[in-house]
């Protein structure tokens, strides 16, 4: 019996991870595709005239079993993968893409959708129904529905190849991340490193049955090493290893994959009548044209460039006074920045970590949601999980209504991609008056506990937790009718608003003062440290903004090409990044080949969205600071108009309903110290 194909009797209908094996996925996907194909046939064979319910809504309800199977497969492939699972994902991905193409290239189905779309303004549809109809019609156009028959075969080939290439791209980055280790056997080489990192690296060495200490490219190891190691040669070694992932002369090189993906995306866009891929993608975004995106990026670039040079020169001058010789390299930046920050504000991650134990942070973040929105979290250890480290919570509204199941997976493992993300195993929807509640997951790579210390988070890990938890709130609080519009199914440059909004609380005394205590003494975080956190919040912000913009420029460059690229990938990247580069070039490094957000994830032609959402979140939080950061009316408005609404209306309209006016860039410039 294949557990993926039967109704689950687990608590709240959660995935039965304890029963699911790798061999179950492919046959389950094949069976689910057959079932979903029959559901599509019922829509196209319907003799009734097409209307919203029998076509658009019916289509939104198809493929439920396939959706739940693939959500498990691809979430596991990111959070707890292995060679066998990767192989299955590679085999299944073309099947899913082929089925998706079967839907969007179904002429009879498209005719019905177009009929509903054409009559949309006169058929009495609600705003939510219009949004779903528009989105469905656009997805069919982008899925090749209007293509001539002779072009459809090539469209299918491209779609399937892109799906496989994106998976391979991410696999290569993960392999390269896991394959490197810095093995140290001489204690002198640990100079400058905090005791917590030394202890963690000793445990890693023991795990690998090696003497001494082992450092890896996973963030809890890599970031503090770059910040504190006094050994410049070792910092350079770590930096080169991290920045050359998937750029070496081996089987995991992503140069060819990146070029193929970019060129195939261009071919796909041209086939559909667009000049480039970005033009195709941006049509349903808040910034809906290439010109708007580039204007936005350049506006921020002009605002941040002087501040970036100021930040750079301050750190460079500090390094020179610190007896640094020669030019300042990128592998020197974190080290001297951290030392300058300590000098200016008498604060660094090692000081802050003492007050940021994961146990306290988790409670504080969950309680923050309770304070803002009245929701409650109850641990449930009977819910099956894919790894023993995963924690599960039942989530309830203030009136006792069940809202969601929340999974949280905190720590790095060999089978887990780097970074942090929120995802779901089931989206919210309303079926025949029954509110089907979501299953939401937060995955991270936070510092583990050691033999002598609990898991102590860096300040960056704290803001990351808040960020991903903000996404989870978007997924858990949603109240929509149709799955395709619920939760985080919103415009890509709007989806980061709830997540980045939550990060603001990390700098607020009123929140930190309520929970942050020293992990050993229980002493409350001193008020002067909280003030220093706020003061230091604009430290190197000009540099950070320019760095983030460089990723946005690079993303847009890859996706605004109008002719296929057949060039040296380093030359292409260097030319694009030249105007944002502050350091001397280093041979053998490349950003693009490990840029998973745009080549493996869903941010192609959308990476600018992080900065775009910063404008929104800064403006939104300024409203909270005006009315009180825990003001119930303001929080209720944010919940009602943003978090609950998903993609049921235009993002700007939702925002204006919450804020009372359109967002302004001024709040971001003020918060960042750029104005």
pLDDT at 310 over 80: yes
Q: Is residue 557 part of a domain?
A: no
pLDDT tens-digit profile of 176-209? Answer: 999 999 999 999 999 999 999 999 999 999 999 9
* In a shared domain, residues 185 and 129: no
Residue 16 shares a structural domain with residue 59: yes
Do residues 108 and 198 share a domain? no
Domain that holds residue 211: 180-243
Q: Are 81 and 87 in contact (CB under 8 A)?
A: no
Domain boundary among 227, 243, 259: 243
Q: Do residues 319 and 572 make contact, with C-beta atoms less than 8 angstroms apart?
A: no
Q: How far is residue 633 from each of residues 472, 572, 629, 659, measured CA to CA in Å?
A: 21, 50, 10, 12
Say if residue 552 is exposed, middle or buried (CB neighbours under 10 Å; 0-12, 13-18, 19+): buried
Question: Maximum Cα–Cα distance for the chain, whole Å?
Answer: 82
405 is a domain residue: no
Tell me the C-alpha distance between 61 and 53, whole Å. Answer: 11
CB atoms within 10 A of CB 165: 19
Domain containing residue 70: CATH number? 1.20.1050.40
The catalytic residues are 468
Decide the pairing of beta strands 434-436 and 429-431: antiparallel
Q: Do 82 and 212 belong together in one domain?
A: no
- Residue pair 504/486 in contact (Cβ under 8 Å)? The answer is no
Based on the fold, state whether residues 134 and 87 are members of the same structural domain: yes
Q: According to the model, what pLDDT value does residue 653 have?
A: 97
For residues 39 and 141, state if they share a domain: yes
The verdict on 19 and 135 lying in the same domain is yes
Count of beta carbons in the 10 Å neighbourhood of residue 675:
12
- Which of these three, 146, 166, 192, is where a domain ends? 146
pLDDT by residue (tens digit) across 503-552? Answer: 999 999 999 999 999 999 999 999 999 999 999 999 999 999 999 999 99
Q: How far apart are the first and last CA of the chain?
A: 63
Residue 647 · residue 488 · CB < 8 Å? no
Task: Specify whether 134 is located in the same domain as 188.
Answer: no
Per-residue confidence at 53, pLDDT binned at 50, 70, 90?
very high
**Whole-number Å distance between alpha carbons of 311 and 600:** 32
Let me know if residue 64 belongs to a domain: yes
Q: Tell me the pLDDT tens digit for each residue of 421-443.
A: 999 999 999 999 999 999 999 99
Model pLDDT for residues 215-246, shown as the tens digit of each residue:
999 999 999 999 999 999 999 999 999 999 99
Question: Per the domain annotation, does 59 fall within a domain?
Answer: yes
The residue among 89, 124, 146 that closes a domain is 146
Do 31 and 83 reside in the same domain of the chain?
yes
For residue 350, tell me if it sits in a domain: no
- My answer on whether 138 and 15 are in the same domain is yes
For 442, phi and psi rounded to 5 degrees?
-115, 125
Instruction: Please count the CA atoms within 13 angstroms of the CA of 251 that sit on its side-chain side.
Output: 4
Q: Do 189 and 136 sit in the same domain of this protein?
A: no
Question: Does residue 77 belong to any structural domain of this protein?
Answer: yes
- Flag whether pLDDT at 675 surpasses 80: no
Residue 138 belongs to a domain: yes
Would 35 be classed as within a structural domain?
yes
| Number of structural domains found in the chain | 2
- Same domain? For 124 and 221 the reply is no
């Amino acid at each position: 019996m294949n557990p993926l194909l039967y109704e689950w009797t687990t608590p709240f209908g959660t995935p039965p991870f304890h029963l699911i094996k790798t061999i179950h996925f492919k046959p389950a996907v094949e069976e689910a595709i057959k079932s979903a194909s029959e559901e599509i046939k019922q829509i196209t064979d319907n003799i009734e005239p097409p209307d919203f319910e029998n076509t658009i809504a019916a289509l939104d309800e198809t493929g439920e079993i396939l959706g739940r199977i693939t959500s498990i497969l691809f979430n596991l492939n990111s959070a707890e993968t292995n060679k066998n699972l990767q192989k299955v994902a590679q085999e299944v991905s073309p099947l899913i893409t082929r089925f998706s193409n079967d839907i969007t290239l179904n002429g009879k189905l498209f005719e019905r959708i177009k009929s509903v779309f054409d009559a949309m303004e006169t058929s009495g549809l609600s705003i939510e129904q219009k949004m779903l109809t528009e989105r469905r019609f656009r997805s069919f156009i982008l899925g090749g529905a209007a293509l001539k028959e002779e072009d459809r075969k090539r469209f299918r080939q491209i779609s399937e190849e892109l799906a496989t290439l994106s998976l391979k791209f991410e696999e290569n980055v993960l392999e390269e991340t896991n394959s490197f280790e810095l093995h140290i056997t001489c204690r002198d080489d640990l100079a400058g490193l905090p005791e917590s990192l030394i202890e963690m690296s000793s445990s890693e060495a023991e795990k690998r049955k090696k003497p001494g200490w082992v450092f890896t490219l996973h963030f809890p190891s890599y970031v503090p090493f770059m910040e504190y190691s006094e050994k410049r040669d070792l910092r350079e070694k770590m930096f080169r290893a991290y920045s050359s992932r998937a750029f070496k002369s081996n089987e995991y090189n992503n140069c060819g994959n990146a070029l193929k993906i970019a060129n195939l995306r261009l071919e796909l866009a041209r086939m559909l009548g667009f000049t480039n891929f970005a033009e195709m993608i941006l049509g349903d975004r808040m910034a809906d044209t290439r010109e708007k995106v580039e204007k936005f990026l350049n506006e921020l670039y002009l605002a941040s460039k002087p501040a970036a040079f100021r930040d750079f020169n301050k750190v460079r001058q500090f390094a020179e006074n610190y007896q640094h010789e020669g030019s300042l390299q990128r592998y020197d930046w974190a080290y001297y920045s951290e030392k300058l920050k300590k000098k200016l504000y008498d604060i660094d991650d090692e000081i802050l970590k003492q007050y940021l134990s994961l146990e306290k942070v988790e409670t504080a973040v969950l309680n923050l949601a309770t304070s803002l929105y009245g929701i409650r979290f109850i641990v449930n250890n009977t819910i099956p999980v894919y790894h023993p480290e995963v924690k599960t919570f039942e989530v309830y509204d203030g009136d006792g209504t069940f809202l969601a199941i929340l999974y949280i997976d905190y720590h790095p493992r060999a089978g887990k991609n780097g970074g942090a993300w929120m995802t779901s195993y089931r989206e919210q929807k309303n079926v025949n008056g029954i509110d089907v509640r979501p299953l939401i997951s937060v995955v991270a790579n936070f510092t583990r506990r050691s033999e002598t210390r609990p898991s102590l988070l860096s300040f960056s890990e704290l803001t990351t937790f808040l960020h991903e938890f903000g996404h989870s709130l978007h997924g858990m609080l949603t109240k929509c009718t149709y799955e395709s519009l619920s939760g985080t199914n919103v415009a890509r440059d709007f989806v980061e608003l709830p997540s980045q909004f939550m990060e603001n609380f990390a700098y607020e005394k009123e929140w930190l003062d309520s929970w942050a205590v020293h992990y050993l003494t229980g002493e409350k975080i001193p008020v002067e440290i909280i003030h220093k956190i706020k003061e230091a919040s604009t430290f190197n912000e000009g540099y950070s903004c320019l760095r983030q913009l460089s990723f946005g420029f690079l993303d847009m460059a890859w996706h605004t090409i109008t002719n296929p690229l057949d060039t040296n990938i380093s030359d292409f990247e260097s030319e694009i990044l030249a105007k944002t580069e502050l350091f001397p070039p280093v041979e053998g490094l490349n950003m693009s080949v490990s840029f998973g957000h745009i080549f493996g994830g869903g941010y192609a032609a959308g990476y600018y969205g992080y900065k775009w959402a910063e404008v929104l979140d800064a403006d939104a939080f300024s409203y909270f600071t005006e009315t009180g950061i825990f003001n119930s009316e303001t929080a209720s408005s944010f919940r009602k108009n943003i978090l609950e609404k998903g993609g049921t209306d235009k993002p700007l309209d939702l925002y204006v309903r919450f804020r009372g006016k359109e967002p302004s860039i001024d709040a971001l410039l003020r918060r960042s110290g750029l104005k």
